[in-house]
Structure 1
C-alpha cells in the first residue's frame, strides 16, 4: 500500500497534497482527479458545441459571431450549502462559487497570452485577494482555478463576478480576430 501511495503522490502536483500522511495524499489525489474531470467535461462540451454549430463563412463579420451578452445564469451547485454562478460563452466558461469564507473561481478557455493578468486585474479591481491559483493546461485549453478572499469593500455578487471575468475575454482584439 505504501508503494501505491508513493506512486499516487508522484503523479499528483505537489500543491494538492498538503502533508505526507495517507489521508492527505488520497484527499489530494481526489481533488486533482475532480479538476481533471472538469477539464475533460469542458473540453467535451466545447467539442460538442463546435460540431453542432455551423462554421461561419469568411464573409461574416467577426462582431456578429460574438454573443450580444454571454449566456449567464445563477445555478445551485450539487453540494449542500454552496451557491454559485456560471457564465459561459464561446471564449470561456466561468464558474464562481462560495466555499467557506472564500470564493472558488474556475475558468476554462483557450490559451491566451496575457489573459491571466487581465483576470487578476479584474479580481483586484473589485477587492478580491488571490489566495491560491492553479493553472492546468492540455494542448490549447487552460483551466484556471482561483481561491480568492472577498475584500471588505467588495459589493459584487457571484453572478456579477462571473460576468466581469467573462468580459475580460472580450477586450482582446487579437483573440477576437481568431474566432
Structure 2
C-alpha cells in the first residue's frame, strides 16, 4: 500500500471513530514521492468523499491535489457465528461489517429468513425474532375487572412475543379479542 493510501486509511480511522477503511482506488495516478509526509483534509465518512491530499517534504508543500477515492468503509456490527439455513436459530457475534449495513438490535431468540454463511454481516432483513407463541396456539384468555377474573380458552390469530399486543379468538363465541401476551399460554385482555 502506498504512503498516500496509508495516510488516507489512518485519516478515516481518526475522523470516523469505530471505522476502518481499505483504499480500493485512490482516484489519482500513483504518486512517487518516497520522502513526502502526507496529510488528508476533509470528511471521509460518507459514500463518495471529496478529499484534499497534501504532500510535504521538510514542511514544504511539494504536491497537493483533490481526490474522490473509492473506499471500502467498515464499522463494528453483527456477523453470523456459523452458517445457518433459512428458518434455523441464529447466533451473532461482533465483527466488521460494511459501513452501509443496516444496524441490528439483536434479540434473545432469532431465526434466519434466508441461508446465511459464517462471518456474513447480519442486518434486520436477514433475521427475525422467534415469537414466544405461534398462530393457532391454544391460550388462556384472561379478563380481570376488580376482583372478578374470567378465564376462557382461546386460539392466537397471529405469532406473538411476550409483552406484545396480539389478537385471539374465543372459539365458543367466535369473538375476536385484543390483548397482551403475558406468557406463551396467556393473553390478558385489557
Tell me which interval the TM-score lies in, with the shorter structure as reference length.
under 0.3
Larger Rg, first or second structure (1 or 2): 2
> Normalized per residue, which structure has more helix?
1
> Normalized per residue, which structure has more strand?
2
Higher relative contact order (CA 8 A, sep 6+): 1
TM normalised by structure 1 equals 0.22
TM normalised by structure 2 equals 0.21
